[in-house]
């Protein structure tokens, strides 16, 4: 299985041992083994596969609809990016700039971020979040937000490592009668 990690005897390899931020910085050039780019229709199979590994559900119809909404590239506020290593898609991130939601000025929301378990801890999610944030900055927003499941400590650890902290909102919900 292809690994995202660069060889240990390179500067990037040394950076890998120092942590994700250093790895992402060391990878931040055209020679990086990890390329983050706009999704293509042909990426849908690996995206569906990675999502199915993480969630245990294969949602082909859902992903086709997400691709139509976020992957067309004709809405600059909508982002659907993939990370590719040696020609293989190993992760994806989806986000959108939303205007005046909850009465707040426009901000960038991360809806989903997933990395193939075989390619984790190589700085790939860090690179994808940086690319998404760069897109949000180009749209003029200066705030990044997300919502995550309370018991998903893995994704919480990741977002905390990126500098995210508790925001000003409280999620509420209730059951609706059938
Ligand atoms: C969370 C996830 C995206 C991280 O991807 P990744 O490419 O491994 O992340 P990175 O290598 O960029 O890690 C960045 C930092 O996140 C934290 N982190 C990542 N994986 C971690 C783990 N298993 N345990 C603790 N901290 C972790 C670390 O602080 C890490 O920095 P470090 O390596 O310097 O310690 C990946 O594990 C994943 O896809 N998990 C499932 C996601 C999920 O549940 N998605 C559904 C909701 S959207």
In this structure, of 5-14, 34-43, 116-125, the range with the lowest mean pLDDT score is 5-14
**pLDDT number for residue 102:** 83
**pLDDT number for residue 140:** 94
Confidence band of 28 (pLDDT split at 50, 70, 90): low
**Average pLDDT estimate for 30-51:** 94
Element counts in the chain: helices (H) and strands (E): 6, 5
Atom 19 in ligand 1: residue holding the nearest Cα: 158
**pLDDT number for residue 47:** 98
Confidence band of 13 (pLDDT split at 50, 70, 90): very low
C-alpha distance from residue 22 to each of 18, 121, 144 (Å): 6, 12, 21
**Average pLDDT estimate for 108-128:** 97
Three-state SS sequence of 114-139: EECHHHCCCCHHHHHHHHHHHHHHHC
Percent of the chain with pLDDT over 90: 74
Statement: the pTM of the whole predicted model exceeds 0.85: yes
Number of residues that this document lists for the chain: 178
Q: Cα 58–59–63 angle (5° rounding)?
A: 130
Atom of ligand 1 nearest to the CA of 24: 12
Q: Is the pLDDT of residue 155 over 60?
A: yes
Residue 113 C-alpha to ligand 1 middle, in angstroms?
Answer: 9
Judge if the beta carbon of residue 95 lies within 6 A of ligand 1: no
Q: Is the pLDDT of residue 107 over 70?
A: yes
Atom 44 in ligand 1: residue holding the nearest Cα: 155
- Angle between helix 44-55 and helix 60-70 axes, rounded to 10 deg: 120
Nearest to 51 by CA among 119, 148, 117, 3: 117
**pLDDT number for residue 3:** 37
Atom of ligand 1 nearest to the CA of 19: 34
């Amino acid at each position: 299985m292809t690994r995202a990690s660069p060889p240990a005897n390179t500067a990037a390899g040394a950076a890998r041992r120092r942590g994700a931020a250093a790895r992402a910085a060391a990878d931040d050039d055209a020679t990086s083994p990890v390329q983050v780019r706009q999704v293509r229709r042909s990426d849908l199979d690996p995206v569906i596969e990675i999502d199915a590994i993480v969630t245990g559900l294969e949602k082909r119809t859902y992903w086709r609809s997400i691709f139509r909404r976020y992957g067309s590239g004709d809405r600059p506020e909508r982002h659907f990016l993939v990370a590719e290593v040696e020609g293989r898609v190993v992760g994806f991130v989806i986000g959108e700039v939303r205007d005046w939601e909850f009465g707040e000025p426009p901000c960038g929301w991360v809806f989903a971020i997933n990395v193939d378990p075989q390619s984790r801890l190589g700085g790939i999610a860090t690179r994808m979040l940086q690319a998404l944030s760069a897109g949000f900055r180009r749209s003029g927003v200066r705030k990044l937000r997300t919502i995550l499941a309370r018991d998903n400590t893995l994704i919480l650890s990741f977002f905390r490592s990126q500098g995210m902290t508790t925001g000003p909102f409280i999620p509420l919900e209730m059951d609706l009668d059938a």
